[in-house]
Every structure is written in C-alpha cells, then in structure tokens.
Amino acid sequence: ISATELELLMQNVIFAHQETCQFRQENLQILRWETFSPEEMQNFQQKPMDQMWERCVCHITDAIQYIVEFAKRLSGFTDLNPNDQIVLLKAGAMELLLIRMSRAFNCFNNTVFFEGKYAQLELFHSLGCTDLITSMFDLCQSLCALNLSEHEMAFFNAITLLNPSYPWLQDKHKVDTLYRKIHFAFRHLLRRTHREFILMKLPEKEKLSNICQLHLEKLNIFRQMYPTIAWERFPPLYKELFI
Ligand SMILES: CCS(=O)(=O)c1ccc(CC(=O)Nc2nc(-c3ccccc3)c(C(=O)c3ccccc3CC(C)C)s2)cc1
C-alpha cells in the first residue's frame, strides 16, 4: 500500500464515521450528567415488557441504520460482492452497535444515554433481560476505560465489520485484503499517536459475539412470550437482521 493510498484510506474511514456517528461525541458528553429522576425511572420500570422491547428495538434499529450508512461509505465495502456485504452487516451490525453505544456511556455513574437522558441499568428492568443489559454495561465500562478517540472508534468499527473469518463469505480473500489494509492503517494511526497499547486492550471478538448471542436468545424468549408483537411492531430492518 502506498503512502498516498494509506492517507486516503485513513481519511475515508474517519470521514465515514464522522458522517454516520448519529450523535456527536461532544453532544453526548454535554448531556452526560442529565440523569432520569426516580419518578421517571419508575415510569420506565412500570412499562409492560412488550412496550419496552418495542421502544428499545426501534432505537437500536435507528442506530443500525447509521451503521449500514457507515459500511456503505467505507471505500471497498461496496466493491465487495453483494452477498458478502449482507453477511458482514448481518454478523457485524449488533457488534458495531455495542461498540458505538460505549460513546454514550458515562462510566462515572454507570449510565447510558437513552431517550434524551442518561439511564441506570435498573431503568431497563421490565425488558426481562438483566444479564444482557449487565454484560452491555460491563462492555461499555471496559471500552470507556480505553478512552477511545473518535478516530480510534472509527477504525475499531471498520476492522470489526470487515471480519474475514465469517464462514459464509463467498470472496473471503477480497474481504481479507480490505481488512488487512484498514488494520495496517489503524496501526499506523496508533503508532503516530503512541497508542499502540490499546490494540491488546480492545475487547476480544468472542466477548462481542457472546453479547450478540445473548441478545438473540433474549429476543427468542420474548417472541415466545409475545408471538405476534415482533412481527407486527418491530421494524423490517431489525427483523431482517435478527429474526
Ligand atoms: C450508537 C450511536 S450513538 O450516537 O452513540 C447513540 C445514539 C442514540 C442513543 C440512544 C439509544 O438508543 N440508547 C439505547 N440504549 C440502549 C441500551 C440498553 C441497555 C444497555 C445499554 C444500552 C438501547 C437498547 O435498546 C439496547 C442496546 C444494546 C443492547 C441491548 C439493548 C436492549 C435490547 C432489548 C434491544 S437503545 C445512544 C447512543
């Protein structure tokens, strides 16, 4: 890879993230001490399970739409064969959501940005999946500890999405070449900023996939309890990716 191609690739990854990050980091920071009052918390906790699930699913589907946009702006992603683009997004959308969500996490009071303010773990009680939410909070805590810059966040998202080891890929070699280029550019950025150490501290692949697995399990339990809600009320993109 030439120096110019490297610079262009770095610009592309950083711009792709900046243009699709949904909430800007500084705005999430400004709001981070706005927490829900006990009454507001109680209000959420008293919502029926199906209503809370529907709200959350709609929120993450909004966030995933930005993730799809991020992928489309990554140079090389849209040159991949269309089947592989779907495979990578199907496998990686939730993982990228988990990583991005850590930007909206306040690790000092263990709250996450949700519907306009920052919410404690207990707010999500009525979802009936405390283990999933707890592992989400733990992941956010560990990512917060790294204090990733938006540039690092952009590259971490890109290398997580372009994972050449997915079994169903038709053109694995093409994904692998793109992955290696972006990983090389990431290491180049980290060397320049003396942040190489974070590579060993990023959460392992299987930690992300375990939480994604847990999400799918909880979704199936929910669907057994409310068989029609998922079909009637969940957004098409969510159904395509997870059902
Ligand atoms: C992601 C881009 S961003 O600009 O940073 C951004 C943009 C917008 C927001 C606002 C937002 O939608 N916050 C949500 N928070 C959580 C949440 C909930 C429990 C713990 C941790 C975060 C949402 C979820 O529904 C969720 C997320 C991950 C796994 C599981 C779930 C619940 C299951 C039932 C789908 S939605 C936040 C951040």
Write the pLDDT tens digit of every residue in 130-149. 999 999 999 999 999 999 99
Residue identified by tokens 């993109």 is 237
Q: How far is CA 85 from CA 65, 89, 125, 200, 202, in A?
A: 14, 6, 35, 28, 24
CA nearest neighbour of 191 among 155, 138, 163? 155
148 in contact with ligand 1, CB cutoff 6 A: no
Rounded Cα distance, 176 and 188, in Å? 18
Task: Give the nearest ligand 1 atom to 56 CA.
Answer: 25
E strand map for the chain: 105-106, 111-114, 117-120
Q: How far is CA 144 from CA 100, 121, 167, 242, in A?
A: 11, 16, 31, 27
Residue 60, both tokens: 């993450």
Task: Give the nearest ligand 1 atom to 23 CA.
Answer: 4
59 in contact with ligand 1, CB cutoff 6 A: yes
**This prediction's pTM:** 0.97
Nearest CA to ligand 1 atom 4: 23
Nearest CA to ligand 1 atom 31: 56
Which of 25, 100, 101 has most ligand 1 atoms within 8 Å of CB, for mutation?
101
Please report, rounded to a whole number, the percentage of residues in the chain having pLDDT higher than 90: 97
**Residue 7 CA to ligand 1 centre (angstroms):** 33
**Residue 192 CA to ligand 1 centre (angstroms):** 32
Rounded Cα distance, 93 and 161, in Å? 8
pLDDT digits (tens, 9 = 90+) for 174-225: 999 999 999 999 999 999 999 999 999 999 999 999 999 999 999 999 999 9
Please report, rounded to a whole number, the percentage of residues in the chain having pLDDT higher than 70: 100
* pLDDT mean across residues, the chain: 97
Q: What is the mean pLDDT of residues 56-73?
A: 98
